[in-house]
Amino acid sequence: MRIETFEIKRYVLGPLDTNSYLVIDRAGNALLVDAPPGILTIMLYLLDRNIVKLTHILITHVHFDHAAEAEPLREVSGAKLIMHRDEFLILEESGRWARAYGIRWFKPDPDKLLTEDTEIDLGWVRVQAIHTPGHSPGSTCYYIKELNTIFTGDLIFKGTVGRTDLPGGSSREMIKSLKKVILLIPAETRILPGHGNETTLSDELKHNPYIRAIASGSKRDWEGTLPI
C-alpha cells in the first residue's frame, strides 16, 4: 500500500503466519515492525542492494513469532531496536516456545526500552508508542498519525482480539488496552495487525464482537478463549 511519499510492505512469515511490516519513505529510509523467522533473509537482500536503509526495528512483543530475528537484524543493519521494558518478563518463555517450534531464538538486546506511552522521532517519521498489555506484559502498538495507521501486534485482529491465556497475559489488562486504543485513534484509522488481513477501527466497531462489547461498556471476560 502506498500513502503519498510512504510505502508499507507486508511480509507473512514463520510457522504462525506472522505479519512483518516495512515502512519506507521516498528517500529509502525504513522502519520494520516485528521481526519474525524469515525476515532476516528478506532484509539482507534489500540492504545488500541498497534498496532501503533500515533505521529502526519496532517490536510489538517478544513472542518468538514476532521477534525471533530482531537481534541478528539489528546487528547486521545497525538499526535501533525498540521494545517495551516489561517484555523482559517473558523472554525466557519466548525462547522455549521458539525451540519447541524448531526456531532459532536470538535474545533481543534493545537500544531503547519503552517504559510509558511516548512519541518517538525517528528523524524521518514520528511514531507514537502505546503500551497495550494484555496479550503480554509489554505489548505495544505503534501509531503513525501521518499515515493514519496503527500497528497493533496481537492486540486487535480483523474480527477478533488477541488471546490472554499465555504467560504474562491478562484479560483485565486486555480490556483496558482495547478501551485505550479505541478512545485514542480516529475511527477511520487503518489497523495493521500481527496476523491476518488489515482492517479499520470503524469496521471493527461494527463487526468485531469484542471491540463492540468494549465500546458499549460490557464487562465480558474472555480469558483464554482466542486462538492467537
Q: What is the pTM (predicted TM-score) of this model?
A: 0.93
pLDDT score recorded for residue 220: 56
- The yes/no answer on whether domain 2-215 falls in CATH 3.60.15.10 is yes
Residue 175 to residue 213: CA distance in whole angstroms? 10
Q: Classify residue 210 as left (phi > 0), alpha (psi -120 to 50) or beta.
A: alpha
**Burial readout 54-89 (b: 16 or more C-beta within 10 A, e: otherwise):** bbbbbbbbbbbbbbbbbbbbbeebebbbbbbebbbe
Residue with cell 480469558: 223
Q: How confident is the model at residue 66 (pLDDT cuts 50, 70, 90)?
A: very high
Q: Is the pLDDT of residue 222 over 70?
A: no
Q: How many Cβ atoms sit within 10 Å of the Cβ of residue 195?
A: 19
At which residue does the C-alpha cell 532484509 appear?
43
Q: What is the pLDDT of residues 79-111, one digit of tens each?
A: 999 999 999 999 999 999 999 999 999 999 999
Model confidence over 171-213: pLDDT tens digits?
999 999 999 999 999 999 999 999 999 999 999 999 999 999 9
Residue boundaries of the structural domains of the chain: 2-215
Confidence check: pLDDT of 218 > 80: no
Secondary structure of the chain in the HEC alphabet?
CEECCEEEEEEEECCCCEEEEEEEECCCEEEEECCCCCHHHHHHHHHHCCCCEEEEEECCCCCHHHHCCHHHHHHHHCCEEEEEHHHHHHHHHHHHHHHHCCCCCCCCCCCEEECCCEEEECCCCEEEEEECCCCCCCCEEEEEHHHCEEEEECCEECCEECCCCCCCCCHHHHHHHHHHHHHHCCCCCEEEECECCCEEHHHHHHHCHHHHHHHCCCCCCCCCCCCC
Name the nearest CA neighbour of 194 among 6, 34, 8, 42: 34
Assess whether pLDDT exceeds 90 at residue 74: yes
Q: What average pLDDT score do residues 18-24 get?
A: 99
5 pLDDT band, cuts 50/70/90, is confident
Q: pLDDT digits over 33-60, tens only?
A: 999 999 999 999 999 999 999 999 999 9
Average pLDDT over residues 18-47: 98
β-sheet bridge partners, residue 22 = 9, 32
